[in-house]
């Protein structure tokens, strides 16, 4: 790669905003809330006993709920690993019984944490039902977003060539040679110190904005096709550029569809959350005494 290129490539970012801590609440709603769903009453063999720990039974229905929860978080679990899930539940029950033996459920600090967890689960489930489930993004909405904002998904490009040397005096001399009629590519092969492009007559190929150092980029995108630059100094040395074809490349809809849908979903969840929160606040009687925080 040419030394005129920066390491890595920058990408355009779409603006996103989530306020009032809604992101955390929505994430919790999507994870904790879903995991807490009750099983269908029609689940076959839900009461079948799979394990017993000191007279406490673990049923198939409990196992199925745990399995579903794990699969939502981690993806499909193969049947041959079901035994691991069940053994994990047995260990969990043993540990839970150990907490009772230690009377941890009577500890004030533990009780406060349990109450906080209970509150969070309830809030998460409320948001899952009222916000998450109410938020849907259609293909038509994503397509409209794409068509209305094509510039966001477009990248300016330019084909450029250059000759790189260490001193300004040498660059000035080479510039005069090229202006005097010498072939740019042949001079680049003979004198450019950019080994990555010299053998190709100085050709750097197609460059995108943000891909080279600012001084080089500005000149490359300013030049018309076939036009020569003056001497351009960068951290790599002194350049003489030759402009190439300018184009604007737009990413196809299918390549950015998922990204658009995620962005729109966040926006829709935010809007629904704000409206839902405003309605609750309107019905509530709240008093806040910030001066007492001192």
Same domain flag for 159 and 206: yes
Residues 223, 227: Cα–Cα separation, whole Å: 6
pLDDT of residue 294: 84
38 and 67 share one domain: yes
The pLDDT score that the predictor gives to residue 44 is: 56
Report long-range pairs for 274-277 (Cβ below 8 Å, ≥24 apart): 274/20, 274/22, 276/130, 276/131, 277/20
Q: State the pTM of this model.
A: 0.56
227 and 166 assigned to the same domain: yes
- Report the distance separating Cα 168 and Cα 180, nearest Å: 18
Determine the pLDDT at residue 249: 85
159 plus 103 within the same structural domain: no
Q: What total number of domains does the chain contain? A: 2
pLDDT at position 102, please? 96
- Range(s) of the domain holding residue 30: 22-133
pLDDT, averaged in runs of 10, over the chain (294 residues): 41 36 37 41 76 96 95 94 96 96 96 97 96 94 95 92 97 96 96 95 94 95 96 97 94 95 96 97 94 90
Q: Tell me, yes or no, whether 85 lies in a domain.
A: yes
């Amino acid at each position: 790669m040419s030394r005129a290129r920066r390491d890595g490539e920058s990408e355009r970012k779409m603006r996103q905003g989530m306020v009032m801590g809604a992101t955390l609440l929505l994430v919790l709603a999507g994870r904790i809330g879903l995991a807490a769903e009750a099983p269908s009453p029609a689940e076959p063999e839900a009461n079948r006993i799979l394990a017993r720990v000191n007279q406490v039974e673990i049923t198939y229905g409990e196992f199925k709920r745990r399995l579903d929860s794990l699969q939502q978080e981690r993806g499909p679990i193969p049947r041959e690993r079901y035994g691991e899930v069940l053994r994990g539940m047995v260990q969990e029950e043993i540990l839970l019984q150990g907490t009772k033996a230690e009377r941890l459920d009577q500890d004030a600090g533990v009780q406060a944490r349990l109450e906080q967890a209970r509150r969070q689960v309830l809030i998460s489930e409320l948001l899952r039902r009222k916000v998450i489930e109410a938020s849907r993004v259609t293909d038509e909405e994503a397509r409209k977003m794409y068509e209305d904002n094509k510039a966001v998904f477009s990248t300016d490009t330019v084909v450029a060539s250059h000759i790189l040397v260490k001193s300004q005096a040498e660059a000035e001399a080479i510039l005069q040679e090229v202006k005097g009629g010498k072939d740019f590519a042949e001079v680049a092969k003979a004198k450019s110190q950019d080994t990555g492009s010299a053998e190709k007559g100085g050709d750097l190929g197609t460059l995108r904005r943000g891909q080279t150092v600012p001084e080089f980029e500005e000149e490359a995108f300013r030049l018309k096709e076939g036009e020569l630059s003056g001497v351009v100094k960068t951290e790599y040395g002194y350049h003489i550029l030759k402009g190439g074809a300018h184009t604007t490349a737009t990413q196809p809809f299918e390549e950015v569809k998922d990204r658009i849908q995620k962005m729109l979903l966040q926006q829709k969840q935010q809007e629904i959350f704000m409206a839902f929160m405003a309605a609750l606040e309107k019905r509530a009687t709240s008093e806040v005494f910030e001066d007492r925080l001192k």
